[in-house]
Every structure is written in structure tokens, then in C-alpha cells.
A and B are shown apart, each in its own frame.
Chain A
Amino acid sequence: MPISNQVAVVGTGVTRFGELYDRSYLSLVHEAATAAADDAGVEVGALEAAWLGTAEPQLGALVGDSAAAVTEALGFAPRPVTRVANFCATGMEAVRAAALAVAAGEYEVVLAVGAEKMRDLAPRESLVAKTVEQSHPVIAKGRTAPGQFALVASRYLHTYGYGRDALAAVAVKNHQHATHNPKAHYRTPLTVEQVLSAPMAAEPLGLLDCTPTTDGAAAVVIASRRWAERNARQWVLIQGIGIGSYAGYYPALFRRDNDFLGFAATRAAAAAAYRQAGITDPRAQLDLVECHDCFTITEIVNTEDLGLFAAGTAAAELLAGTTTLGGELPVNVSGGLQSCGHPVGATGVRMVAEVTDQILGRAGSRQVHRARRGLAHNLGGPGAVAAVTILGAA
């Protein structure tokens, strides 16, 4: 059965994002999942299956290596649980797996939860150590997460003639948005000067061009449209959900057709999701976008890859205010990864929850006026995978 408009998001639950030293991985899974179930008005015991998105279980001492963590956190036994991982698109992959299972007709109402415990170790002992030490002994040695996106930033600025202030505008916009999001890791506004004068991470990206490393979890309850119509209080419909891939982990930075001005996997995922949703003019047909902004440049090129703006014009649209809350097409009104942080497995689920809450009109002071249809987008690895979800009012 084609998925479009047959599967609903009927509940959302998001924990606070931040340095949650007092919280365990399992307690975050528990909080997000029970909040989503409460929101859906369904007992956890009525959920038929669960998908867990956790990208790097070793950052949390292997907890999350299997979705048995959901069983432990929720007393879910003996029901089926599955862990998925797809680089930084892990969270949306969990939503997609759950939605496809419902669309297939096997289940009526299931759980998708994403969680990541990134701060139990310092970044240098966890994520950086992973990149530096566990990576291939020689190929791409010296690659870091900011370094990989900095290659795109350098090429983008060089090709289109923008300066670092265009990048900084993403951080300023998203931090301003996050002042309205009580669950964001950072909720303090920034100035362009602060972003430009921050210590350099990987030229041209400074520290404030980068997402922090963050603990957090998010969950959504996914149900069939039939179940939603009978049982749900409020719901939105999944109009399209697509994943695209490109090259592979190391090859993504070596392949000849990589223009370093965007990500082919995003273009492929968007094409699939737009086809399912019947979207032909995304700029006109979408009311808001939550897209991957692990680094400031990522948001700029993603909004071009998603077809919202022509190549080379996203930075100009950003500087003109098009993507600011209140503008023509607000992008990352939650604060994005820039301000919410990026607990990897949780991020894609958080984005789906944000767009759901916006369409349901319950996003508080960051509510986008008359939001009827929105897009959530996750990017993984060096552009190796990307996921796009289109959500619309029922």
C-alpha cells in the first residue's frame, strides 16, 4: 500500500535537550516514549511494536546497541523491538521503519523513539575519538565532522561569493528561534559578531557555526489512518517519507560527481517524498521546514537541495529574512540542531515531532501562522544518507 496519507503521527514526546548529566539513556527513552503515548492517549501497553534510533551506542557504554533498551525502559516485553542506525539520519529512519510497518498493514499503532547519550563522555573521548581513532588507518585520516562540512562551506563561499557573515546568519536566526523553545540546549540569542569572533573549528566554520553535542530523546506514536480516525485526539498525516543515499562513508568525499555545494542524497530523498506527497513547488506548497543544520552551511545547502531556493540563492534568501519565523518560509523554528543540539538518534524524531506540533497549532510562541504542511529533513554522514518526511494536516 502506498504510504502517502495512510499513516498518521498521533502523539509526540520530546525530552529536554542538553547536558543531562543527571539522566540515564534509559530514563530519556522512558520519558520521551511515555510522553508520546500520553499525548496520543494510548497506553504504552497498547503499542504493538517499537523502533529505536540510536546511532552510537558505544558513547553510552553499549546501551542502545539493540532495541532491547526499549523493552527495559518501558517494560515492553515480549513485543517486537528493532534498533535502526543510519548515521545522523538515524532518528528519521526509526520513524520511517515504523511508518512502513503500519502502511504494510502489520500493525495499527506503534512507537518510534530516538535517543542518544552523548555527554557521559567528553567529545574528545567519544565522537572525536571515533573519527580520529576508529576510522580507517590512512584514508581520509584528518577528517572531522566540522572539517567535512567546512569543505562544503569553502566551496560554497568561493563559488557564490558570500562571506562568513552569511553562515553566521544561520546561527543567529536559529538561536533567536530557540529563545521560544524551552527544550533547546541553547536558548540565548547570538549576534553576528559573536559568531564571527568565536574560536575557529574548521575554516570557515567557527565554534558557533557548529551544533553542540547533546543528550536527549524524542518519540512519536505512529498509527494507521484508520486507527487515528477512531482513536486519536489530534493527528497529522505522513504525506511522504523518503530516504536517499550517496557513494558511501569514505567515498562520499572522493567521488568525482560531488560538487561540494550540497548533498545528492538530500536531492534524492526530497524527490521521493515530493513525489509521494504530490509536491511540485515546495517553496509555495510548504509552510515550514525543519532541516539538518549540524553546521550553519548545512542549512544553507540543504534548503537548496530541498528545492526551496535555486542554487546559490539560499544564503541571500536567509539574509533577506525569508527563512526567519514570520518570514515567507520559516526554517528551523525549533532552533534547529544549532540550538537544540544534536543527540543523533533523537534529532530526526524531534524534527517530526516539531512539524507535527506546528501543524496541530500547539507550538507556543514559535508557532508558524497557519502551518498546514511541513517538511523534516535529516542528513547522515558526509552526505551518505538523507531522509525527508512531509507531514500535512489531516
Chain B
Amino acid sequence: MPLCTPLLDAEIALPHWRIGAGPRQIAAADPDEDAVTLAWAAGRTLLDRHTGRSVTALLFGSTSAPLTDGANAATLVSALRLDPRAVLTQEFSGGTSAGGAALAAGAALASTRPGAVLVLLADSRTSAAGGPLGSGAAAVLLDSTGDLTLRITPLGPASSPAIAYARAAGLVTANPPFTRWAAPASARIAGLGDLGAAGAWISLMTGGGQADENGLTADVDQSWRVAVTGPDHALGALRRAVPARRGAPPRLSGPPPTFRPYYSAPQHWRDGDEELALVGMRCAECDAPEFPAAPSCPVHGPAAALTPARLALSGTVFTRTRDHVFPVGGPLTMAVVDLADGARFYGQVVPGRDVAIGDPVALVLRRMPTAADAAPRYFYKITPTGGTDADQ
């Protein structure tokens, strides 16, 4: 008896780079990307199509989660600008079946709870030797108003995870190595690689799975079968072409061993959520928001009525430089961006990409440099979105 739930929409996010060619090619992430940033990318695109919809649960499945204590989902709630006080979070890990488990839990939640359930499946896996295996993410929005149906069927004891472990494909390590997973490799997707907990869903949306009278289907780690059924046009809208890219991600100079950036736990507690959500301020007298927020309006002074304002995540480049002095991850391109809402942003351009004055760009969640043994810290970087790709 399959678990069934209405499905509203879904999205995938793949990193920019490809290593290798043909079926052995894999999708490779930047050095500042991880399962959280990839999940953010898929989730952001998906939620942008459904603004105003109430999300009441966020479930995150990954075998390469950067943190092990549940903070990944909490980070994603803030960075996706959801209400941390209204969204139930849960994380699934332990093996590539985490993807199926997260979907199953999401289906159960969606049937018992008002509001939409956002399931984020993401992985950025490396082999025990440190080589990339593949990176990607999927975002699935389960909501009673959806006209598609998600069916999740267990495949039975003969193909249980225990069997898969018995055929274990080797040690898989998370990146960075806060955790180590003795997990089997997930099925490879031709051209993209081993996408772990996100593999089945990305396969389903990119045509790697079957498409027949049963709709779009894919198997998760030989333990679950996921299928989406519904009207042809709605199924068709879920199909994604895989953009062809070339080139390996840049290898960045790592932080010097002595690199000890300023860190304050109270500052992180106080400001972290607003940094993740990129919240500035809006003065009632001004026609655009300002970032970072300050206790006074720069034009109208301390008596101005200020309210928090989320910044637009797209814009155009106002000025830029390529900095050879910053000693971590350099040379870095830094840019000032005129955002679509009139605010300004200044920050790093993502590794290996460049922008020119006037280029259209987007702000994306990435990892910021921290000390080698410190937990990741996330903020926004600038990525080109125009047709002409100024890759270096």
C-alpha cells in the first residue's frame, strides 16, 4: 500500500561545473558550496514560484550534511526566509535512503498538518580519497492543493538497506569531515554522478527515471520507489533538462593555518538569522531599503520609522574589482550590486566566475571563510546570471 500525498511543485539545483565527459561526467560544486547551499538554491527557486504560501515544515535529507546536530535545517529555514517559530524541522541522514525517508515523513506530515511541507534533498559527496562523486539538490513542495500525486512504495526486504550495505561501495566522507558515513554509493546518474540522497528525485525530474502510465518514477537506494502521477501537462512541467557545463571548479588557496577570523557566539546568536535571510532596513521616508540595518536612517536620522526589510536577491553590477591581496580563497572578485529593490549589496563573486559593470547578477547562499576547525558560516555571494558567461 503506497503512501500517497498531493504534490504541488518541485525543483532541482545543480552546481555550475562538470568534471569528465560522457556518462562518467559528474556535477561538481564550488569549494564554498555544500549540501546546505545546494538545498537553498533548489528551495529558493521553488519557493519563488509560490510566494505567500505558508510552509509549516521543512525536512532535509542528506548524507553530507555539514553539521550533525540539526542546525542544517534551521539554517535553511532562516536562509529561505521562513518563520523559524512556525516551521517544524527534521533532518534525515545515515545513508542515501535518507532521501526516501524525508519524502515519506513529508508525505505523512502533509496529510496531517495544514500548510505546505518543503522537502529538501541535497548532497555534495566525496569519496574516501577526497575526490568529488557528484553534487546536487532537489526541493519538493507537498501541499493539499497540488494536482500531482506523490506515491512512495517500499521495495521490500530483499532490497533493504542492509543488502545495500552488504554490497557497500566504500566509505563516503562528508565535506568537511565533521562526519564520516559508512554508506553505500547511490545509483549514478549519467552525466551528473552520485547525488546521494538527492539522486532519486533528480533522476525522476531529469528523465533518468521511467516515464510511463505510472507517471515519473525513480528508486531510492533499492529501498523505496517514488512515483509522481497526474495530468500530462503537470508532469511535463516537472521535467528538467540538465544544462551542459564544462570545466572543473576552481581550486582555491585555503585559509592560512593561522587564519582566525573574528567570531563571537553572542553576535552569531543576535544577528545570524537576519544575515541568513539578508534582512536590511526600510525607512518610511525612503524609497528603497538599506543594508546593513542601522539604528538610524542615513538620510532621515534617528527619529525615522525603520522596519526590517528583506533585500532583493537579484540586480546589476555597479562596480567591481579583482582583489589579489585578500589571503583566503583569492584572488577574489568583489562587486557592488544595485539590487532590484533599489538597495545596494557589496560582497564576493562566487569562485571561478567574474562580472563586469552592468552585468545581471543574483545573490546566492555560500559558505564564508572560517577557521579550519570551525563550523561553517553562510552568507550571500554574487553570481552572474546573464547569457554571456564570463568564466575564467
Contacts and interface: CB of A to CB of B under 8 A. Distances in A.
Nearest to B299: A257
Interface stretch (A94-102, A195-203, A353-361): A195-203
Contact of A151 (B267, B292, B319, B342): B319
B75 interface: no
Interface residues of B, number: 44
Contacts of B181: none
Interface in B226-263: 259-263
A248 B342 CA distance: 19
26 contacts: A132-B261, A135-B262, A137-B262, A141-B347, A142-B326, A142-B334, A142-B347, A143-B334, A147-B321, A150-B321, A151-B334, A153-B321, A154-B319, A154-B320, A155-B318, A158-B357, A200-B324, A202-B323, A202-B324, A251-B290, A251-B292, A251-B294, A255-B290, A256-B343, A257-B298, A258-B344
Given A133-B261, A202-B321, A256 B327 contact: no
Contact of B336 (A124, A151, A205, A250): A151
B4 interface: no
User: Which residue, of A142, A202, A254, has the highest number of chain B Cβ atoms within 10 A?
Assistant: A142
A254 B344 contact: yes
Interface string B328-339: 100010101000
Contacts of B332: 142
User: Which residue, of B261, B275, B334, has the highest number of chain A Cβ atoms within 10 A?
Assistant: B334
Contact of A147 (B264, B291, B326, B368): B326
A99 B5 CA distance: 77
Contacts of B343: 254, 256
Nearest to B330: A142
A147 B262 contact: no
Contacts of A150: 321, 323
A138 B377 contact: yes
A393 interface: no
A135 B326 CA distance: 12
Interface in B319-370: 319-328, 332, 334, 336, 342-348, 357, 368-370
Contact of B324 (A138, A201, A257): A201
Contacts of B53: none
Contacts of B320: 151, 154
B50 interface: no
A137 B321 contact: no
A146 interface: yes
B379 interface: yes
Interface string A126-152: 001000111111111111111100111
B288 interface: yes
Contact of B368 (A134, A141, A204, A260): A141
Contacts of B324: 199-202
Contacts of A158: 319, 357
Contacts of A247: 298
B113 interface: no
A199 B321 CA distance: 15
Given A133-B261, A154-B319, 15 more contacts: A124-B327, A128-B327, A132-B261, A134-B262, A136-B262, A201-B324, A202-B322, A202-B325, A203-B322, A204-B321, A205-B321, A248-B294, A251-B292, A254-B345, A260-B319
Contacts of B300: none
Given A142-B334, A254-B346, A137 B261 contact: yes
A253 B357 contact: no
Contacts of B298: 247, 251, 255, 257
B327 A138 contact: no
B290 A254 contact: yes
Contacts of B24: none
User: Which residue, of B332, B346, B370, has the highest number of chain A Cβ atoms within 10 A?
Assistant: B346
A13 B162 CA distance: 82
